[in-house]
Structure 1
């Protein structure tokens, strides 16, 4: 058995391995090189040169090998692919030590940045090639595109989606709202583009088409290319961020109205800023999330945020057109997600992308004040109460007892259980210029809100 010095485990160009023609992919050339190599270090060095010449396995920062697949995408099973590539070429020179040393040599020779993988800017991989989002040109996917995923949909420039377009007109009679969601889906196709720094929130009562719309977009992207995490989980918990890495789209239906406690995370998620990711049993590491986010809710989540930056991160679209249970088409999802219809939906999304690029902004985009008002109006009972019946007034005071009694009445009239008094105080005091204090009245001292009054309340 051959004995090797551990100090020589990493081979280099001084090992005496012939490098003439080392860029060739001819297996016979490399098989002969392996025959000429007289120890495992030299075999590993030669094997790594052959893998480099092939160009279908690449080392990535973090000590990972990625492999190029027949479908044009790169996957994380590079070690298994290395075994499959080397087995036939090594033959009698095969051994686990050679495999391990070859992998070590590849990792030493130079690593690709993780961000080099994903999708070329301004393009999206589809079932039949790589599509230019701006001009609709289609070409074959190449290894150097470093594509990690592709839509399970074929591009056909002549395809249309008449059923989907008709449904969209019924869900969203307003053309501006339809254009806005169309532009966002187009934006989601451009994986590297986070320039607009927004997430989409569809809000409205049940049976208004929100979930069906998201089902169609989910089918367009494919289950393997989407996640389903709530904004509360992503913002409040530490584990969610890692799941976004290299995922183009996060779709979550039917958000509950629980609070977003870390509103700053919302800004980072929308803008692609570096974020710390953590997986159980692993060290913290940094990712640049490029995932686009689409949510639907009957009531939007609660939040204590008052600055414009939070509300600037949201595109809100109202779905108000309810369909009765008797009129509901139970097979609509299936009709809207046929391969032919989805090819048309892809063209619909391209229209939105190209319009967004021409305009430089989303259609009917709201400012932060409008978004804040709409958020409160469509929030949980406290947010709705504040939106409709609380107004800032620098010279006014309102007792906490009076304010909470009014809120209790409001909640009961809307058929929901009132939240605790402390939560009402926390929400009201996020309003600009509002604070709490004690004041003396004829009946004695009472806790009050300063800088605020009840309005539109008998």
Structure 2
């Protein structure tokens, strides 16, 4: 059994089979094969219920089974198997000219398939419902509960509640809540790697709290950039362990993130860690759109091999690890606006603690308490994350790499947002051409037509294309040339 699972209370069938309960009258006599709804109801009561609550759900074109701490998606064959086994044990009553006769039920593929339809409808959770949610009533608000090994933890009240299949959640943490647990070695490690940027440690703590909470509403992602041996991989592996390991955490490649079936691995996963984001691959635009949509809580369509397409909101938050700032081509800079970042400057390659991952794994309950402190601070600050000292430089690099056009405008002009401040767009394009050559963007320079389209797409406040009515000339409004931004030989000639 996975560390993320607890055996749920046994079903009625399991208890009778184990001899814990005496079989009720008529236990092995079922409705006839043609009575699909009646047979389905019997099966749900005997095979897929515990404590009077269903342990089977059908949600967004997939079957989900309760595993004691949370719900997991299961293949349809795992639903068919116990149905087949139970029906192979039972008989039904058939009326004949000679009176009632007990006939073997004799399951077949067709018979079981006929039963799946009423079963599916009986346990259907509407596709519009977002997990986590209550499916059978409950008092605790959904956002406050974190499923852990020893119960459902209300992080606002610091209370544990018993596990129940009424709480439809797709992931759980594999360790117990212990209010006395500490994380001495973890905090020592953070003191070392964030010695240059104490605010960076606070951001990481708040991010960890945001992850364990399951929240999506702040629409943020975290970039951890830094030198080799600077602690990035330790932070990544600790966040992964905190969130339940591979059962709950996806590790996609940024180079492959634009692929057709890549999003399938994110379904039901609260965290995705990109281990090396320096190469965004040939699908850069698709990667950017997916990062924006998922971080922005938008619905996405997910291709699943051999199955119908799945559409819904993914519960995934992104942590991006890289030695260098990744290049996300995004004229609007939406990815950059949703990014938070920290830069690690100190390398520990010369003196690594090879036993550190094992030490930190033993501290997971304490690291959880450390993350709770970060979550509390985040809530006190109304959802505003602490800004690290090293963040601004990283985000500036991210913007310049992702939208050289925005960087060009910010470096070359004063952005006034005033329509009366304007420059002929041909002069602006000439400035842009020289800027690209000077800054190494010559190969990615936009054509003049594309340039004109992207000026509005980059969404710089108050900066937009326009036209002078009197002359018909095209201009870009809301900008003034900065002092010294253009070499003297390129300045407009003045009359003698």
**Structure 2 unaligned runs (5+)?**
1-11, 17-21, 92-104, 134-141, 415-421, 466-478, 488-496
1:9-408 paired onto structure 2 within 5 Å: 32=26, 35=29, 37=31, 39-42=32-35, 45-52=38-45, 54=49, 55-62=53-60, 64-70=62-68, 73-77=71-75, 79-81=77-79, 83-84=81-82, 87-88=85-86, 91-93=89-91, 94-97=105-108, 98-109=111-122, 111-113=124-126, 115=129, 117-118=131-132, 120-173=142-195, 174-191=197-214, 193-221=215-243, 222-230=245-253, 233-234=256-257, 236-258=258-280, 260-262=284-286, 263-307=288-332, 309-320=334-345, 322-337=346-361, 339=362, 341-365=363-387, 374-377=394-397, 390-392=411-413, 403=435, 406-407=438-439
Whether contact under 8 Å (2:331, 2:403) holds in the other structure is no
Q: Identify if the C-alpha distance between structure 1 residues 388 and 331 changes in structure 2 by more than 3 Å, giving closer, same or farther.
A: farther
Whether contact under 8 Å (2:325, 2:397) holds in the other structure is no
SS in 1 for 2:292: helix
Q: Identify if the C-alpha distance between structure 1 residues 254 and 404 changes in structure 2 by more than 3 Å, giving closer, same or farther.
A: same
Which residue of structure 2 aligns with residue 11 of structure 1?
none
Which residue of structure 1 aligns with residue 6 of structure 2?
none
Q: Over residues 59-118 of structure 1, what are the superposed CA-to-partner deviations in whole Å (9 max), with x where a residue is unaligned?
A: 414554332235554441464355336635761435323543332321243512354655
Larger helix percent: 1
Distance (whole Å) between structure 1 residues aligned to residue 81 and residue 220 of structure 2:
43
Distance (whole Å) between structure 1 residues aligned to residue 446 and residue 391 of structure 2:
22
SS in 1 for 2:304: coil
Which residue of structure 2 aligns with residue 412 of structure 1?
none
* Cα shift at 1:142: 0.8
Q: Over residues 29-82 of structure 1, what are the superposed CA-to-partner deviations in whole Å (9 max), with x where a residue is unaligned?
A: 766165263x21237723533414724442414554332235554441464355
Which residue of structure 2 aligns with residue 17 of structure 1?
none
* Cα shift at 1:268: 1.6
Whether contact under 8 Å (1:299, 1:378) holds in the other structure is no
Whether contact under 8 Å (1:378, 1:384) holds in the other structure is no
More deviation in 349-358 or 426-435? 426-435
Whether contact under 8 Å (1:376, 1:384) holds in the other structure is no
Q: Over residues 311-358 of structure 1, what are the superposed CA-to-partner deviations in whole Å (9 max), with x where a residue is unaligned?
A: 3311112222x1243223233223222x3x111111111111122122
**Structure 1 unaligned runs (5+)?**
1-23, 409-417, 436-449
Distance (whole Å) between structure 1 residues aligned to residue 433 and residue 65 of structure 2:
65
* Cα shift at 1:387: 8.1
Whether contact under 8 Å (1:258, 1:301) holds in the other structure is yes
SS in 2 for 1:284: strand
* Cα shift at 1:382: 9.1
Q: Identify if the C-alpha distance between structure 1 residues 419 and 121 changes in structure 2 by more than 3 Å, giving closer, same or farther.
A: same
Whether contact under 8 Å (1:391, 1:452) holds in the other structure is yes
Whether contact under 8 Å (1:377, 1:387) holds in the other structure is no
Distance (whole Å) between structure 2 residues aligned to residue 302 and residue 215 of structure 1:
24
SS in 2 for 1:229: coil
Q: Over residues 221-240 of structure 1, what are the superposed CA-to-partner deviations in whole Å (9 max), with x where a residue is unaligned?
A: 21111101245644x44433
Which residue of structure 2 aligns with residue 15 of structure 1?
none
More deviation in 323-332 or 345-354? 323-332
The CA RMSD over aligned residues, in Å, is: 4.0
Whether contact under 8 Å (2:330, 2:403) holds in the other structure is no
Q: Identify if the C-alpha distance between structure 1 residues 130 and 78 changes in structure 2 by more than 3 Å, giving closer, same or farther.
A: farther
More deviation in 271-280 or 387-396? 387-396
* Cα shift at 1:124: 1.7
SS in 2 for 1:241: helix
* Cα shift at 1:131: 1.5
Distance (whole Å) between structure 1 residues aligned to residue 305 and residue 71 of structure 2:
27
Whether contact under 8 Å (2:200, 2:387) holds in the other structure is no
TM-score using structure 1 length: 0.73
Whether contact under 8 Å (2:152, 2:162) holds in the other structure is yes
